Chains A and B, each alone.
Chain A
Amino acid sequence: MKRILALLRREFWENKGAFRTTPMAIGGVCIALMLMAIFTTIHIDNELYTFKQAMRLLARQPAETMVTHLHQTMIGISIVFTVVMSFVVFFYLLGALYDDRKDRSILFWKSMPASDLQTVASKLLSAMVVVPLIFWTVLIITQILMIITASVMVLSVGENPWTLFLSHLNPLGPWFMVLCSYLAASIWFLPFYGWLLLVSAFAPRIPLLFAVIPPVVVALLQLWIDFLRTFTFNNSLFGIIGEWVANSPVIISIQIQGGQETLALGIPYTSSFDHALTIGNILDRLFSLQMAGGLAVAAVFLAGAVWLRRRATDS
């Protein structure tokens, strides 16, 4: 256990830029963009307003409209965090067992009494738990800071932030849901993570190509064979992967307003928005037959990654 913790610390130190600086930079940009609104004009319904005018206009809006604007802002931010996080995890796993083979530091790591299983486990846990926890924490801090900033901005033009929006806000539930969905997604995407680690342990160079080309080739072959047989495009690896991603327990909120449906990855901030995801259906997915199949695939990939890591040296 102590070794695993030490190895997790190592992963954090090595990837501080991706794990910590990246979410902090996104948060910083969000707040900076918000502050910039003070000095620029605001675009509402094809009319330009100064910051002060816009605030007064917003204050006169019905509560429902206010909440919509707020919701969209918050969703926008969480989408950015979620999407960037998926890129961070993807590239982290792709390099996790490759980089120290490339720079030969693997010889140093192998001189330490940590088994290859522990090493691979530490990398997987970093991707599944450490990164989501950091991104989630920074997301919450960012949103708190934005709420505070918005309140100060509203106060400065003589409006009351409490009646205007603070009283409509109930972020604790959504924050909790985001955390649950991040962690559930980590389990859901295990077959992908396993594949990336396997490629990372195997690729002689450019792991990105080795990660992408085999599934693309398989899918194209399937498409071609299938097309010759049935003249339709169905059930290829592309389809399986696409369906898998679409079924992931990443939060998807559906906004239905006047018959119009908006689908978004993000957080349902108020009760006026339906969300497709509850703890109940997160658990449904994690205990599905589909998940069991996915875990079996992941186990094969991960066992391959450990096997390759055990044999890897500098040459």
Chain B
Amino acid sequence: MNPIISARGLSKRYGRTLAVDHIDLEIPAGRIVGLIGPNGAGKTTVMKAILGLTTFEGELEVLGLNPASRRAELMQNVCFIADVAVLPRWISVWQLIELTGQLHARFCKDTCLKYLAKTKISQQHKVKQLSKGMVAQLHLALVMAIDVQLLVLDEPTLGLDIIYRKQFYSSLLNDYFDDQKTILITTHQVEEVEHILTDLIFINNGKVALDCGMDEVENNYVELMVAPANAAAARQLGPLNERELFGRHIFLYRGLKRELLEDLGELRTPSVADLFVATLSGEPS
């Protein structure tokens, strides 16, 4: 099956700075991919290129189309939420639902109303009367009601309370996602999405720093927690990264057999956040 997104040598230059530096990507169908990176790493630029919102150099195909020239066609099968609430402020909720229904063949009004029923938003509300979090809820309800092949979420839960965030991610996984769909998420709140992700892409300085499945993370990376007495021994095994927590030392290793480490201390699979910090802080010294 053809990949949903495939990029080769994707680059984007703003003046003299290379915001995206020859990125290669291949994302197949049926994945939930986390695009993680520090501020200014080029995540949003990559997403904009994928959504046809910016010009770029290199090759990029989304659902077999070049997004730069065929955005409108692409949007029949792609949905996205940009980094902050961007719903027009003058519109009222019922108008927004009407319009989306008329513009989007794959929009299901009942599904949208079902999601809205879980919020305090009424159809008579205007967007400008809603709080930031409620606007995000409204946008998510709209997007979840559109049955598309690719959903792109850029910081979708910014401004939402923790209860709604959890609800959202669980309905995203349980009600929305299936093996025909692909979801691409960026967020700084990695802990909240890591349990639903199937794949991870780290981006730093416009380059892909890591691109692997979550199962590979489990197989290849291990975190070891040791008492200070064992720290020197652990350090010799060449960890990617070391940190201290409540007087204990925590080391992160790549491609090391767990049996080698078992005697030194406690083992666990690292969180995405820890893996991210370790990957970006570079190779062991």
Which residues of A are in contact with B by a Cβ distance under 8 Å?
2-3, 5-7, 9-10, 13-14, 100, 103-116, 118, 310-311, 313-314
Contact = CB atoms under 8 A, between A and B. Distances in A.
Of residues B71, B81, B88, B99, which shows the largest number of chain A Cβ atoms within 10 Å of its Cβ?
B88
A112 B53 contact: no
Given A14-B91, A104-B84, 5 more contacts: A10-B99, A110-B71, A111-B81, A114-B72, A313-B53
Given A2-B102, A107-B53, A113-B103, A313 B88 contact: no
A108 B99 contact: no
Contacts, number: 77
The 6 closest A-B pairs by CB, nearest first: A6-B102, A115-B72, A113-B75, A105-B88, A107-B82, A107-B86
Contacts of A313: 48, 53-54
Interface string B83-101: 0101111110001001110
A238 B86 CA distance: 41
Contacts of A110: 51-53, 71, 75
Contact of B86 (A5, A9, A104): A104
B89 A105 contact: yes
Main secondary structure of the interface of A (DSSP, over half): helix
B73 interface: yes
A52 B177 CA distance: 77
B274 to A, nearest CB: 33
Contact of B75 (A6, A10, A14, A111): A111
Given A107-B53, A107-B82, A113 B89 contact: no
Nearest to B78: A111
B82 A314 contact: yes
Contacts of B82: 104, 107-108, 111, 314
B80 interface: yes
A112 B88 CA distance: 13
Given A113-B103, A313-B53, A103 B89 contact: yes
B75 A103 contact: no
Nearest to B53: A313
B76 interface: yes
A118 B72 contact: yes
Given A311-B55, A314-B82, A314-B86, A112 B91 contact: no
Contacts of B248: none
26 contacts: A2-B102, A9-B99, A9-B102, A13-B91, A14-B88, A103-B88, A104-B82, A104-B84, A105-B89, A106-B86, A107-B53, A107-B82, A108-B86, A108-B88, A110-B51, A110-B52, A111-B79, A112-B75, A113-B72, A113-B73, A113-B105, A114-B72, A115-B72, A116-B71, A313-B53, A314-B82
Nearest to B14: A315
Contacts of B87: 105, 108
A112 B103 contact: yes
A13 B97 CA distance: 13
Contacts of A13: 90-91, 95
A103 B95 CA distance: 18
Contacts of A104: 82, 84, 86
B72 A5 contact: no
A309 to B, nearest CB: 11
B104 interface: yes
Contact of A14 (B51, B72, B90): B90
A20 to B, nearest CB: 14
A311 B54 CA distance: 7
B128 to A, nearest CB: 10
Interface string B48-60: 1001111100000
